[in-house]
Amino acid sequence: MTFDEFVTLARKGGVDELQVEAMEGDIYLFHAIVADDTHTLETESGEVLRPDSLEHARKLLKGAGGLEELPLFLVQQTAYDEMIGQQSSQESHKTRMSLRTGT
């Protein structure tokens, strides 16, 4: 799904939530959740859309306009167990964000 398609669908209420996934190496990805399906957002040329930072992700969303009410979450995988020598888990942390404030 392209970013523009996402914006159009989200403005119509067709997106359940948007997740900004933080990955290793300061890589961020957008995942739109639509009716239990996950869609990674892409550019018009078909490349995965990768904001440079969490602030850049917010600026893209604010700049699109009309997305202030869309549920927005930061998703991070935890590497803590692996770092301390225990079995790693696929646990992720999901934190609510907002376009209206600094959180």
Taken in order 84, 54, 26, 71, is the CA torsion positive or negative? positive
Give pLDDT, residue 78. 63
Q: Specify the number of domains making up the chain.
A: 1
Residue 77 has pLDDT above 90, yes or no: no
| pLDDT, tens only, 41-65 | 999 999 999 999 989 999 999 999 9
Considering the domain boundaries, does residue 22 fall inside one?
Answer: yes
Considering the domain boundaries, does residue 7 fall inside one?
Answer: yes
Considering the domain boundaries, does residue 103 fall inside one?
Answer: no
Range of the domain at 69: 3-97
For the entire predicted model, the pTM comes to: 0.82
* Per-residue exposure over 4-14, b if at least 16 CB sit within 10 Å of its own CB, e if not: eebbeebeeee
Considering the domain boundaries, does residue 57 fall inside one?
Answer: yes
Considering the domain boundaries, does residue 17 fall inside one?
Answer: yes
Considering the domain boundaries, does residue 102 fall inside one?
Answer: no
| pLDDT, tens only, 78-97 | 655 455 555 555 567 889 99
